[in-house]
Amino acid sequence: MISLLPLPQSVSFSDGLFVLRAGMAVEACTELERVATWLTTAVGRAGVPLTPVSAGEESRANRAVGVRLTVAEDLPAEAYRLDVDANGIGISGGDEAGVFYGAQALLQLLPERVFRSAAVADVESMSVPFSQIRDEPRFGWRGVLLDVARHFMPKHDLLRFIDLMAMHRLNLLHLHLTDDQGWRVEIVSRPRLTEIGGWRVESQVGPPPHSPANGRPHGGFYTQDDIREIVAYARQRFIEIVPEIDIPGHSRAAIAAYPELGIGVGDDASATPAPAVATTWGVHAEVLNLEDSTVQFFRDVFTEIMDLFPSAYIGLGGDECPTDLWREDARTQELMRARGIATEDGAREWFVEQIAEHIIARGRRPYGWDELLEGTPPPGTVVASWRGMRGALAGVRRGYDVVACPDDKAYLDYRQSDDPDEPIPFGALLSLRDTYSFEPIPADATPEEARRVLGGQANLWTEHMDSPRTVDYYAYPRLCAIAEVLWSRRRATFEAFSARLDDHLRRLDALGVEYRRPTGPLPWQRRPEVEGQPLTAEQHAEHVAALVSGIAV
């Protein structure tokens, strides 16, 4: 029996095998040429060269057709049907994406060597069991956040990350591009953002505040052409990239590059030296000031970002914004009075609103963290509920679309087990079983409110992931569980999921993914030299409850 992951809506196998042989055709209409090429490349490099042909083309008469790709009017977007019988393999989708997901399912019906980049056996065929699959995703937002600010992910590794997402039918990559510790996207009109903000002199190794630094510079950024390439590559795999520029907190890299964006410079430049790009983790005090010139600076940044990323959603962060510097700064207090802003929390709302309106004016939707619900973000804003599910419930009740990424189910930087050998054990325990129990619809939501849950996402914050190898370890296999939660209309038991996952891990082995073994970290995946900061479930719940008290439900 073949294990499919994510679990399809329905699947049945019958006796018999279709043999997909070298030289067979993959027949597709023009609309499906991209998917045909993708499938032909995937199977071809693993040793079974196929030939894409246009439906109706003369030359197909000379070839046996192995795979037929079609668009089916009766299927919704992203849905697919896959039928394998003695006549061959048929994949129909409600749209191009649906056919692509059917092609991804087909790869899982083939021997796992199809996931290798070159042939490992001298066999120019692969057999496929007779089968019928009917499938359609549960949510339209099947996301993962990758924090490339804390640790930069080089472009070629990011492309691989996107391929792994596509394999799991995740369709949205939330790229966290800026933070206190780094600015990772070229902004042509403000070059110092990457010249200065794109690197730091060293990095803390372990949780803040006391872990030591490593004395080693870290940096990197994507040029605008890199971004265009990454966006196009993702789009070919039906993945939308949602960029995030985090404001008005988490902005120290920007302030290091352009000190006039921060507090305590300008007329009073001698009072506070400009900060350097942060080398330690945790929430930093530096925030953007409220000058018109600072708002204009970020309007210009967001204009370039919107030109680069065609996504319907544009992330502006809004989380974890300390207000102490605003409170203590005479110029900020003066600006607040002039703008009719009564409180420092109101100042954060005001800044976010300036940028949100700019995003809306360009026909996009602002996307931010659940702190936005401590104020009243503009209609159309999408809210990511991260401090548990309170933001998701509050958001849908107030008429906002929401994305669920509660930290206790979806924060993949949290430790995967109680094993003291877990590398840099941090946060609450978030086992594979815990991720599989993630439910994106808030328990108390009415059916109408539930429709405002666009879906969910896993978040990969990378303070403790200093290489793509480490990202593999934290992401997999927990991301397999979250992908299934977001895709599948049926929820299996954890035991049934685990049994399928055992087979799926062979695919990840073929791809070279350095996932966490069910038995725990391999010796070289441990970090015995770094002390962690694990929290018990109670400590964690208390911490989150205090954080979200500002959101009324």
Contacts with ligand ACM, residue ranges (CB under 6 A): 319-320, 369, 386
**Closer to ligand ACM by Cβ: residue 157 or 319:** 319
**Closer to ligand ACM by Cβ: residue 369 or 474:** 369
With a CB cutoff of 8 Å and minimum separation 6, the contacts of 491 are: 485
Element (H, E) at 232: helix 224-236
**Closer to ligand ACM by Cβ: residue 193 or 544:** 544
Q: Report yes or no: 133 and 11 within 8 Å, Cβ to Cβ.
A: yes
**Closer to ligand ACM by Cβ: residue 150 or 190:** 150
Residue 458 CB, nearest distance to ligand ACM (Å)?
Answer: 12
Residue 154 CB, nearest distance to ligand ACM (Å)?
Answer: 24
* Local structure of 464: helix, strand or coil: coil
**Closer to ligand ACM by Cβ: residue 250 or 397:** 250
- Is 179 tagged catalytic? yes
**CB burial string 485-505: b at 16+ within 10 A, e below:** bbbbeeebebeebbebbeebb
**Closer to ligand ACM by Cβ: residue 386 or 497:** 386
**Closer to ligand ACM by Cβ: residue 85 or 319:** 319
Residue 319 CB, nearest distance to ligand ACM (Å)?
Answer: 4
Residue 407 CB, nearest distance to ligand ACM (Å)?
Answer: 7
Surface-to-core class of residue 420, CB atoms within 10 Å of its CB (0-12 exposed, 13-18 middle, 19+ buried): exposed
**Closer to ligand ACM by Cβ: residue 150 or 500:** 150
Output phi, psi for 124, to 5 deg.
-95, 40
**Closer to ligand ACM by Cβ: residue 438 or 487:** 438
The residue nearest ligand ACM at its CB is 319
Task: Compute, in degrees rounded to 10, the torsion defined by CA atoms 387, 390, 391, 392.
Answer: 120
Catalytic residue among 112, 179, 353, 463, which?
A: 179
Residue 148 CB, nearest distance to ligand ACM (Å)?
Answer: 15
Q: At what angle do helices 155-167 and 224-236 cross, to 10 degrees?
A: 20
CA distance 143 to 228: 20
Q: Report yes or no: 368 and 349 within 8 Å, Cβ to Cβ.
A: no
CA distance 197 to 338: 31
Return the closest-CA partner of residue 25 out of 46, 42, 49, 9: 49
Return the closest-CA partner of residue 39 out of 10, 74, 82: 82
Residue 381 CB, nearest distance to ligand ACM (Å)?
Answer: 15
**Closer to ligand ACM by Cβ: residue 423 or 427:** 427
Residue 263 CB, nearest distance to ligand ACM (Å)?
Answer: 21
Output phi, psi for 460, to 5 deg.
-110, 90
Question: How much is the CA Rg of the chain, to the nearest whole Å?
Answer: 24
Residue 468 CB, nearest distance to ligand ACM (Å)?
Answer: 21
CA distance 242 to 145: 9
With a CB cutoff of 8 Å and minimum separation 6, the contacts of 342 are: 336
Residue 386 CB, nearest distance to ligand ACM (Å)?
Answer: 4
Catalytic residue among 85, 163, 260, 320, which?
A: 320
CA distance 263 to 265: 6
Return the closest-CA partner of residue 416 out of 459, 458, 464, 474: 474
CA distance 391 to 364: 22
Going by DSSP bridges, is the β-strand pair 25-28/51-54 parallel, antiparallel, or unpaired?
parallel
Element (H, E) at 52: strand 51-54
Catalytic residue among 250, 358, 464, 504, which?
A: 250
Structure tokens at 200: 């730091």
Residue 181 CB, nearest distance to ligand ACM (Å)?
Answer: 13
- Is 250 tagged catalytic? yes
CA distance 244 to 246: 6
- Is 291 tagged catalytic? no
The one-letter code for the residue type at 141 is: W
Query: Percent helix, strand and coil across the chain, each rounded to 5?
Result: 40, 20, 40
Residues with a catalytic annotation lie at 179, 250, 320
